[in-house]
């Protein structure tokens, strides 16, 4: 039609090729949302598991995501460097994935909060950040996990002071002001008998999702010609590759040190 | 932390000031989604009303949207030209609003499809398009509504041929190929007794949402000093403005001609 | 070749269609350049005329520029809103025009500074700014011309105090600090007998370049059939249009008020 | 002033941090320019040396450029990955450097073409391309040098056929159509006695500019305390670093193989 020219105002927005893409989603106004839905303080196991469920679904759907990390109301997704998803169109990728994450969050809500109806629609912002090198990608994930640690240590002690210590929030903040990490561990232990390191790893380390690709083969065993599925580490023979089966693995491990990255050397 | 430098890779993405912004969301793979959830063909009243409900919620939440138009699996939102929403940051606006739309769609699903559970999470892509002038904004909405008309006329006749005429889809397409608008009207009438213009306006024209701002005043009536709420067209006196009450109005009217725009002259 | 894939990293950078484009070039480090080449203070007629010459050449070459304004070491160029120059590719337009301006400046240097050889290569930065409406375009040019006025009034008085009044630069700045426009006019007049408004309009108003399109016609005069070129305002007859001849007009007039824009209503 | 708001329409355009930046300038319409100024065919030594002179000046001025490669009417400049030049603002870098290159080209024209006055102002387009990895940077320069080779072999033979072989250009093109590299070498040799590999390396390989940084030290020699400048490879002692002296080196060597990059390992 004579109006179709308006489509020309849609400006292309390709992301630089061969560059690592991180998509981070973060709950919009979750301070209020966590209050309205009575999230446990400082960590609500159900809320975090719901975030994990949404992230797992995103990774099931979008196969070019090779790593995800979640904490609090946020999740970060790393794409393989060479992904051609939606021709690397920024708005298309950003909007579609944030939408899908949101959809999964809402659809799964009642599974994790069976007796807490949604008061209002939760939403998430999203952003795509490009990183040229492996180093920055590792530092990005270290940044998020260090943040998890700092916040969780603070919040754990803060809420202990308030809930068990019966301090006012203002007093609790004042007490914590200027303390370093070691002092907080110490206070947790001496005042509340809490050994920080024994708290749930999900709270201390956040959630890490990796992808295990299991390639199945159809094997014609000599003489029988019966196709049979065997794991990919079978010795080479009369095999035919089938569609790789992707499984996702969630854990709550350290991703700052080298160990994780050495074990998962296919990520970068 | 020493990792925080990675935040510097978040590049600013401000949208040009004082330019009309249109956000369009469109269902991701709704061909499949409409099949999986047995949408009525060619138009599913429940599906369209659910889209309208989500759009209404978006407009309730984001007050700088002055007009919305919906059809099929898509909705377009026009912001007032001078909006400062999220400092006009493109990714922030795009992601947050697409997320909110999606959230409303999923949350309201069961209200419109009480006996059809969601088979899988629906999602939407989104894009922001900038238009410098009023003319382009009008042409944009004309483009979408003309599209509604063209598709609906075609689909209405197509499904009549298939469902009532017992044609195969291939034959129906072949029959329609090359026909102009008038011939389609004619075929609908002569073969199926359908007067196209009497079909639901929602199907023919799509959905148009405008904003009616009702400003209430607290009035101290002489001698009584009793505050009382009165509509804004009251003669000026001892009044005090209160927070304006915003009401939204949905209709299925023509937005190609001048009449709509003359009546709603505050939009542009 | 197998290396050609690197060209894919050239990301498209189209400018929003149908939006006013202003290109401003500004001398790089002209504080130093004007000293090195002994520019007259506060205004060097030769330097300004050289800038004008370069701008005129740019407008001769790039026909979609409809207006230019210059002052000091800068020039602004306005393109007609619908220009398709280089498909509106930002980097292509920016680089090519800044390059051409620079080339003209250097090539014409010796014409305006016959006895001052170039000490080192002058260069210019450039930027493209988009404006959606006429109002902003007018305000843009008002901004630049107001700047001309403010700077020139200040500098004229400053250098009078220093050169004729034998003040130190520091004392001159101190004397001027906090004075308003009227006081500066007054000081110029009472101390130095200078009526500001009689100073060169080039210095006070900057340079304004507009385009006069003169369309020539080939006319077959009845009976003679001798083609002859006549101005376009000739009464219609047996004419044939020839390639329009473009002439440029430079002036030093006010472009803040309406008069200029009413007279040149084809610019916007 | 009340107009200054128009400056807000200048949108930030930072380049992704820590990513290799290549700026390529290319003569605008040099097909015509080389004809107008009677460039020798297929290679004009003076024209190429003038390009080299401009590029050398650019590298003298912009210290973050670590490598340049030139051929025909183009030059490519590689910045060190971490450059903070103009805060990595794209338009600022692009415009300023293209302008400076142009300025140097025009200023130096008469030195290389003493008896050929400039007929009109030459100009250059420019573009900035980002590359995330070393591999792409190497492939970029291989792309340009492979192009040099392909074009030069073709052009050398073409002009031999035309000038010495007295073919028409059309016949020469027809003769060359479909020939592979080996055949061209062979024809050059058998028909014109030209051993391609003995032609000027500048023509065959283009120009490569690298930077040699010589750091000088002020040394207090024991007992004498006489500062003296010594090369940087002097044994450590009572030294004080002085401003590093940068020298540029131009050569016409292969940059496709590893040798160059091993020798110049500081570039990437
Ligand atoms: N009680 C509780 N609150 C949580 C939990 N996870 C996240 N939150 C809350 C705590 C924070 O107020 C908020 C996350 O902080 P943000 O910096 O993302 O702020 P918020 O989402 O309010 O604003 P934003 O829209 O992201 O700028 O979510 C949880 O497991 N339990
Ligand atoms: N039966 C039925 N289908 C509908 C209705 N509204 C939308 N649809 C379907 C018809 C189309 O196949 C589809 C919308 O077309 P699109 O061009 O948006 O394609 P789709 O969403 O499949 O792909 P996309 O991800 O947008 O590229 O949604 C409805 O009311 N009834
Ligand atoms: N004496 C004299 N100086 C002039 C004339 N026109 C311009 N200039 C000088 C005065 C200023 O120092 C300078 C222009 O100011 P800018 O703000 O553009 O600064 P500059 O070019 O030094 O730095 P930039 O690279 O633009 O940031 O040029 C003139 O006609 N006579
Ligand atoms: N005779 C001669 N011509 C040269 C020499 N170096 C470059 N040229 C000419 C040959 C080509 O026609 C032209 C460079 O090709 P380009 O692809 O850059 O085309 P051109 O500059 O004409 O157009 P453009 O504005 O870059 O798209 O410059 C030379 O040394 N001798
Ligand atoms: O989705 P289509 O095919 O109707 O066309 P489009 O929306 O312009 O394409 P895309 O969604 O890929 O931007
Ligand atoms: O949301 P904050 O305050 O933690 O910080 P940010 O995410 O960098 O800010 P924004 O969400 O506005 O990009
Ligand atoms: O200039 P060309 O034709 O060699 O090819 P290009 O440089 O990729 O084209 P453009 O200069 O238009 O970017
Ligand atoms: O150059 P200035 O300081 O007058 O101000 P600007 O032009 O806005 O700064 P920049 O040249 O760095 O864009
Ligand atoms: Mg945030
Ligand atoms: Mg949040
Ligand atoms: Mg958060
Ligand atoms: Mg689409
Ligand atoms: Mg769709
Ligand atoms: Mg659609
Ligand atoms: Mg400046
Ligand atoms: Mg300057
Ligand atoms: Mg200036
Ligand atoms: Mg080119
Ligand atoms: Mg060229
Ligand atoms: Mg070239």
pLDDT in tens, B106-128: 999 999 999 999 999 999 999 99
Residue nearest to atom 26 of ligand 4 (CA): D28
Task: Give the gap in angstroms from C-alpha A238 to the nearest C-alpha of chain B.
Answer: 38
Residue A206 CA to ligand 6 center (angstroms) comes to: 19
pLDDT at B69 over 90: yes
CA distances from C14 to B24, C87, D7 (A): 21, 7, 21
Instruction: Name which of C1, C25, C143 is nearest D6 (Cβ-Cβ).
Output: C143
Write down the pLDDT at residue C237.
53
Domains (range + CATH), chain A: 10-132 (3.30.70.3000), 212-246 (no CATH)
Are D133 and A130 a contacting pair at CB < 8 A?
no
Rounded Cα distance between C206 and C48, Å, is: 9
Residue nearest to atom 20 of ligand 3 (CA): C29
The values of phi and psi at residue C72, to 5°, are 50, -130
- Yes or no: say if B135 and B268 are a contact pair by the CB < 8 Å rule: no
Report the greatest alpha carbon distance in chain D. Answer: 79
How many Cβ pairs closer than 8 A exist between chain A and D? 20
- Chain C residue with minimal CA distance to A18? C9
**Contact map slice: D 168-227 vs C, CB within 8 A:** none
- In order, the DSSP letters of D104-121 are HHHHHHHHH-TT---SS-
Residue C185 CA to ligand 3 center (angstroms) comes to: 23
- % of chain D exceeding 70 in pLDDT: 88
For an interface test with D, the pick among C95, C100, C128, C133 (most D C-beta atoms closer than 10 Å) comes out as: C95
**Residue whose CB lies within 8 A of the most ligand 1 atoms, among A24, A25, A31, A75, for a mutation test:** A31
* Residue range C51-56: mean pLDDT, rounded: 98
Write down the pLDDT at residue A250.
98
- In order, the DSSP letters of C158-183 are HHIIIIIS---HHHHHHHHTT--HHH
For an interface test with D, the pick among C19, C89, C116, C121 (most D C-beta atoms closer than 10 Å) comes out as: C121
Task: Give the gap in angstroms from C-alpha C8 to the nearest C-alpha of chain B.
Answer: 21
Chain-centre distance for alpha carbon D242: 29
> With the CA atoms of A190, A193, A196 and A198 taken in that order, what torsion angle do they form, in degrees rounded to the nearest 10?
150
- Chain A residue with minimal CA distance to B118? A107
Could you tell me if A117 lies within 8 Å of chain C, comparing CB atoms?
Answer: no
B239 DSSP assignment: E
- Yes or no: say if C19 and C81 are a contact pair by the CB < 8 Å rule: yes
- In order, the DSSP letters of chain A are -TTGGGGGGS---BPPTT-EEEEEEEETTHHHHHHHTT--SS--HHHHHHHHHHHHHHHHH-TTEEEEEEETTEEEEEEPTT--GGGGBHHHHHHHHHHHHHHHHHHHHHHH-TT---SS---EEEEEEEESSHHHHHHHHHHHHHHHHHHHHHHHHHHIIIIIS---HHHHHHHHTT--HHHHHHHHHHHH---GGGS-HHHHH-EEEEEEEE--EEE--TTT----EE-TTSPSSSEEE-PPEEEEEEE----SSHHHHHHTTT--
* Residue range B249-256: mean pLDDT, rounded: 98
| Distance between start and end Cα atoms, chain C | 47
Mean pLDDT estimate for chain D: 92
Write down the pLDDT at residue C227.
46
B163 DSSP assignment: I
For an interface test with B, the pick among D17, D84, D132 (most B C-beta atoms closer than 10 Å) comes out as: D17
Are B12 and D12 a contacting pair at CB < 8 A?
yes
Nearest to D131 by CA among C160, A119, A18: A18
Q: Is A38 left (phi over 0), alpha (psi -120 to 50) or beta?
A: left
Nearest to A96 by CA among A66, A122, A58, A130: A58
Write down the pLDDT at residue D63.
96
Cβ burial of B52 (10 Å; 0-12, 13-18, 19+) is buried
Rounded Cα distance between B252 and C201, Å, is: 60
What residues have CB less than 8 Å from A29, skipping those under 6 apart? Answer: none
- Yes or no: say if D65 and D59 are a contact pair by the CB < 8 Å rule: yes
Are A14 and C11 a contacting pair at CB < 8 A?
yes
Could you tell me if C151 lies within 8 Å of chain D, comparing CB atoms?
Answer: no
Instruction: Name which of A11, A12, A18 is nearest C16 (Cβ-Cβ).
Output: A11
Task: Give the gap in angstroms from C-alpha D166 to the nearest C-alpha of chain C.
Answer: 31
Rounded Cα distance between D201 and D198, Å, is: 8
Residue nearest to atom 29 of ligand 1 (CA): A43
Rounded Cα distance between B153 and B157, Å, is: 6
Residues with CB under 6 A from ligand 1: A 26-31, 34, 39-41, 43-44, 47-48, 72-73
* Residue range C86-109: mean pLDDT, rounded: 98
Residues with CB under 6 A from ligand 2: B 26-31, 34, 39-44, 47-48, 72-73
CA distances from D95 to C98, D54, D229 (A): 6, 15, 38
Write down the pLDDT at residue D209.
98
Nearest to A42 by CA among A143, A144, A169, A140: A169
Could you tell me if A127 lies within 8 Å of chain B, comparing CB atoms?
Answer: yes
- Yes or no: say if A30 and A44 are a contact pair by the CB < 8 Å rule: no
Which residue has tokens 């034959």? B171
pLDDT in tens, B215-237: 665 555 555 444 445 454 545 55
Task: Give the gap in angstroms from C-alpha C15 to the nearest C-alpha of chain B.
Answer: 11
Mean pLDDT estimate for chain C: 92
- In order, the DSSP letters of A49-107 are HHHHHHHHHHHHH-TTEEEEEEETTEEEEEEPTT--GGGGBHHHHHHHHHHHHHHHHHH
Write down the pLDDT at residue C205.
98
Rounded Cα distance between D261 and D268, Å, is: 8
Chain B CB contacts of A99 below 8 Å: 25, 28, 98-99, 101-102, 123-126
Nearest to B131 by CA among D6, C78, A11: A11
> How do beta strands B239-241 and B65-71 pair?
unpaired
Which tokens is A79 given?
């794409």
Residue nearest to atom 9 of ligand 4 (CA): D31
Rounded Cα distance between D68 and D251, Å, is: 11
Rounded Cα distance between B168 and C183, Å, is: 88
pLDDT at C215 over 90: no
- Residue B73 CB coordination number (10 Å): 20
Which residue has tokens 């542009």? B268
Which ligand sits nearest to residue C74's alpha carbon?
A: 17
Chain-centre distance for alpha carbon B60: 13
Secondary structure (3-state) at B261: helix
Residue D201 CA to ligand 4 center (angstroms) comes to: 19
For residue A74, give the ligand 1 atom closest to its CA.
18
Rounded Cα distance between A197 and A200, Å, is: 8
ipTM of model? 0.93
Secondary structure (3-state) at D226: coil
User: H/E element holding D124?
Assistant: strand D124-131
Could you tell me if C29 lies within 8 Å of chain A, comparing CB atoms?
Answer: no
- Chain A residue with minimal CA distance to C5? A17
What's the full length of chain A, in residues?
268
- Yes or no: say if C28 and C124 are a contact pair by the CB < 8 Å rule: yes
Helix, strand, coil percentages for chain D (3-state, nearest 5): 45, 20, 35
Are C107 and D102 a contacting pair at CB < 8 A?
no
Chain C CB contacts of A14 below 8 Å: 11-12
Instruction: Name which of C10, C121, C147 is nearest D57 (Cβ-Cβ).
Output: C121
Burial letters A213-232, b for 16+ CB under 10 A, else e: eeebbebeeeeeeeeeeeee
**Contact map slice: A 43-62 vs B, CB within 8 A:** 57
pLDDT at D226 over 60: no
pLDDT at C14 over 90: yes
Nearest to C76 by CA among C121, C33, C129: C129
- Chain B residue with minimal CA distance to D6? B17
Of the candidate ranges C210-224, D33-47, D132-146, the one whose mean pLDDT is the lowest:
C210-224
Nearest to C69 by CA among C202, C254, C209, C201: C209
The values of phi and psi at residue D122, to 5°, are -75, 150
- Chain A residue with minimal CA distance to B131? A9
For residue C30, give the ligand 3 atom closest to its CA.
21
What residues have CB less than 8 Å from C131, skipping those under 6 apart? Answer: C19, C20, C21, C22, C137, C140, D6, D9
CA distances from A89 to A96, C12, D40 (A): 11, 12, 46
Rounded Cα distance between A266 and B15, Å, is: 38
Please give the sequence-ordered ranges of beta strands (E in DSSP) within chain C, or none if there are none. 20-27, 65-71, 74-79, 124-131, 207-214, 217-219, 229-230, 239-241, 245-251
Which tokens is D81 given?
């990955």
Neighbours of chain A (3+ CB pairs under 8 A): B, C, D
* Residue range D130-135: mean pLDDT, rounded: 98
Residue D209 CA to ligand 5 center (angstroms) comes to: 47
Ligand 3 within 6 A of C30 CB?
A: yes
Chain B CB contacts of D9 below 8 Å: 16-18
- In order, the DSSP letters of A93-116 are HHHHHHHHHHHHHHHHHHHH-TT-
pLDDT-flagged residues of chain A (< 70): 215-244
For residue A72, give the ligand 1 atom closest to its CA.
6
Chain-centre distance for alpha carbon A207: 6
pLDDT in tens, B134-192: 999 999 999 999 999 999 999 999 999 999 999 999 999 999 999 999 999 999 999 99
Which ligand sits nearest to residue B30's alpha carbon?
A: 2
pLDDT in tens, C229-262: 545 454 555 555 566 677 999 999 999 999 999 9
- Yes or no: say if A27 and C30 are a contact pair by the CB < 8 Å rule: no
Task: Give the gap in angstroms from C-alpha C17 to the nearest C-alpha of chain A.
Answer: 6
Mean pLDDT estimate for chain B: 92
What's the full length of chain D, in residues?
268
Residue D28 CA to ligand 18 center (angstroms) comes to: 8
Write down the pLDDT at residue A149.
97
Which ligand sits nearest to residue C89's alpha carbon?
A: 7
Write down the pLDDT at residue B187.
95
């Amino acid at each position: 039609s004579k109006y179709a020219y308006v489509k020309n105002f849609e400006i292309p927005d390709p992301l630089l090729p061969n560059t690592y893409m991180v998509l981070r989603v973060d709950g919009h106004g979750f301070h209020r949302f966590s209050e309205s839905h009575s999230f446990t303080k400082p960590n609500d196991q159900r809320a975090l598991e719901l975030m994990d469920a949404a992230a797992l679904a995103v990774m099931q759907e979008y196969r070019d995501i090779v790593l995800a990390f979640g904490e609090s109301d946020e999740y970060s997704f790393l794409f393989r460097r060479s992904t051609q998803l939606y021709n690397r169109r920024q708005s298309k990728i950003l909007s579609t994935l944030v939408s899908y994450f949101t959809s999964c969050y809402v659809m799964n809500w009642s599974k994790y909060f069976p007796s807490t109806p949604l008061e209002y629609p939760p939403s998430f912002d999203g952003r795509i950040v490009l990183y040229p090198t492996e180093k920055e990608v590792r530092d990005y994930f270290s940044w998020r996990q260090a943040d998890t640690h700092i916040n969780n240590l603070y919040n754990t002690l803060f809420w202990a002071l308030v809930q068990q210590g019966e301090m006012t929030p203002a007093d609790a903040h004042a007490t914590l002001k200027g303390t370093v990490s070691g002092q907080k561990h110490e206070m947790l232990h001496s005042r509340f008998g809490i050994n920080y390191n024994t708290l749930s790893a999900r709270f201390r380390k956040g959630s890490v999702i990796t992808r295990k690709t299991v390639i199945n083969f159809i094997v014609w065993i000599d003489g029988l010609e019966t196709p049979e599925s065997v794991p990919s580490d079978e010795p080479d023979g009369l095999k035919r590759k089938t569609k790789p089966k992707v499984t996702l693995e969630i854990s709550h491990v350290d991703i700052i040190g080298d160990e994780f990255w050495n074990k998962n050397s296919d990520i970068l």
